[in-house]
Structure 1
Amino acid sequence: MTSHPRAAPDQDTFTAETARYRRELLAHCYRMAGSANDAEDLVQETYLRAWRSYAGFEGRASMRSWLYKIATNVCLRALKPRPIRVLPSGLAGPYDGPDREPSLFAPGEVSWLEPLPDQWIAAPADDPAAVVVARESVRLALIASLQHLPARQRAILILRDVLAFSAAETAEILDTTVAAVKSGLQRGRARLDELQPNPAELLEPADQRARALLDGYIAAFERSDASLLEQVLRADATLEATPFRDWQSGRAMCIHVLDAYVLGAPGDWRMIPTTANGQPAAVVYHRTPDGTLHPDGAVVLTPTPTGISAVTKFHDPTLVTMLGFPDVLHLT
């Protein structure tokens, strides 16, 4: 049977056929770009290009594959001139010099990885398997590691190992050969193993143990009580924050830095639990001299059965509203 182009594009039909894929395309673009804001822009560009090409869609591939082809190539074009997004731990080893307040990078000196609100890509609750896959494939450590792969190699690994496209489908999406896909996948997996040699067993955000760890971390800040951190951080915990160049490894060093330079007085901080990157998280407010709680950023925790293995703080006030919380917090 011969396929024929569509005679006249219809916006309602286009929306009905493509809207269902928006959330997963957003997750795909985030995995490629490491930025929630960039991912939104890339998805917008994907749908614009898809609409322009919709009349010529002949159905030789599925609608989903067709959209992923457009989205992947939009990402690859956009990423060519941009520096990769990183966390401090992706730039150098942990700071082990003389005691000092953590030093900052100059604005614009580094392009930082951004967290992704879970609600942006939430899978239907009636599909538990899809929910788990969505969470596991946007975990911070994975996204940070993916950014260190060449963009096409990153795309191959995501399409094959995360999205389960076949080698032939991936070759079609990337306009390359099956042999090139297999070779790129092998190199990508090897590099990812180097970057994540022993990934920790993570607790799901809904796990009561994960929520207890988040609650304990929040309590330490809101009460300005460093001893509470002893109860929730693993001995090998790491602490990093953008845009600081210094990051810490080991519970004692993490607690020292937080106690000496961050915690302040009881009531200086207010945190509200949420989830991001499939992990427990909190939006962070800091009390200014006039007593008002203003947005400070977001923190994402990596919970394991033996405690928090990593604390990643993003000092970006806009993340508070991006995660769905008010710009100023009024306590009652």
Structure 2
Amino acid sequence: MTPDRDRFIAETERFRQELLAHCYRMVGSAHDAEDLVQECYLRAWRSYSGFEGRASTRSWLYRIATNVCLTALKPRPIRVLPSGLAGPSDRPPTPVPPGEVSWLEPLPDAWIATDDPAAVAVERESVRLALIAGLQHLPARQRAILILREVLAFSAAETAEILDTTTAAVKSGLQRARARLDELEPEPEALLEPTDPRARALLDGYIAAFEHSDARLLEQVLRADATLEATPFREWQSGRATCIHTLDTYVLGAPGDWRMIATAANGHPAAAVYHRAPDGTLRADGAVVLTPTPTGIAHVIKFHDPALPATFGHPPHLTP
């Protein structure tokens, strides 16, 4: 390994996790974010000899990463949740044909873990699913401006430098982005952190309801105004009674059909999900992310993607 390579790694590697979170906020996909961070470091290495410290290493990397994301976003549709397509429904859930919609993906908390308690709080708050879903509806450059200014606390001048624009354009873009996000985001809720024992109790109750196929247990953990949505289904439900009816009628099945492993994603309690196949094998099915509040679970979002448990470090199937 050359001295330049050693110096490059020493100067840049400590920013990898926060750049991953940044790319995730921009594109709404953990796997895409991984690829974009790799591209960022490849471009950074190629231009490292000409860097010469004209800016801080951090802002230099954010300039590269942001522009990598903006380039990647140009040909892509925005990623959404079912609630971003239409209002709630009491109809049976029907899957959207493959390729018709790009779905938002969860981000494992472990991917952006840090030993700094203050940084943990900031990271969790800035990757909440409600925020990420709202950000995807902003024009890409407005999204970048809002993230750089309000999440990462770059100054207007630094943001202008990163985006190769003017300070006036940054201030105008931020104002428009704030106004649009206010239209999209509901009033902030009082959320429980994933490490709060009350949040873990709600997650455990939700898992128990599935593993025992007992809809009554859902009544104990869901709020009266809870919502339920799942990719790749267009329909989503609002209200505890409607959510429980949907789960009991179409999802719960028999005791032992489901197994869930507790984890955390997007600053929320979550679980890797396995479903029993006809041959009896418990196969990876996806992940579920809960929004816990002091009065119960406010939102349930199930991401149906058999690759997701591996993203959280779990195997493709479990021993019964």
Partner residue of 1:313 out of 302, 308, 315: 302
Determine the structure 2 residue equivalent to 1:192. 181
Determine the structure 2 residue equivalent to 1:233. 222
Partner residue of 1:287 out of 276, 283, 286: 276
> Could you tell me how far 1:9 is from its partner in structure 2?
7.4
> Could you tell me how far 1:60 is from its partner in structure 2?
2.0
Partner residue of 1:119 out of 110, 115, 121: 110
**Residue ranges of structure 2 left out of the alignment (5+ in a row):** none
TM-score (norm 1): 0.95
**Equivalent AA in structure 2 for residue 167 of structure 1:** A
Question: SS state of the match for residue 318, structure 2?
Answer: coil
Matches within 5 A, 1:172-211: 172-211=161-200
Matches within 5 A, 1:1-332: 10-96=4-90, 99=91, 101-124=92-115, 127-331=116-320
- State how far apart, in whole Å, the 1-side matches of 2:95 and 2:72 are: 28
Which whole-Å deviations, capped at 9, do the CAs of 1:59-99 have from their partners, x for residues lacking one? 12100000000000000011001000000000111114xx5
For the 8 Å contact 1:69–1:174, the answer to whether it is kept is yes
Which whole-Å deviations, capped at 9, do the CAs of 1:171-199 have from their partners, x for residues lacking one? 00000111111111111111111111312
For the 8 Å contact 1:123–1:134, the answer to whether it is kept is no
- State how far apart, in whole Å, the 2-side matches of 1:181 and 1:323 are: 36
Which whole-Å deviations, capped at 9, do the CAs of 1:11-35 have from their partners, x for residues lacking one? 1111111000000000000000000
Question: SS state of the match for residue 230, structure 2?
Answer: strand
Question: SS state of the match for residue 103, structure 2?
Answer: coil
**Residue ranges of structure 1 left out of the alignment (5+ in a row):** 1-7
For the 8 Å contact 1:88–1:240, the answer to whether it is kept is yes
Determine the structure 2 residue equivalent to 1:4. none
- State how far apart, in whole Å, the 2-side matches of 1:313 and 1:89 are: 12
For the 8 Å contact 1:239–1:312, the answer to whether it is kept is yes
> Could you tell me how far 1:289 is from its partner in structure 2?
1.9
Which whole-Å deviations, capped at 9, do the CAs of 1:33-78 have from their partners, x for residues lacking one? 0000100010011000000110011212100000000000000011
Q: What is the count of residue pairs matched by the alignment?
A: 319
Determine the structure 2 residue equivalent to 1:5. none
Q: Identity over the aligned pairs, expressed in percent? A: 81
Taking only aligned residues, the RMSD between alpha carbons, in angstroms, comes to: 1.0
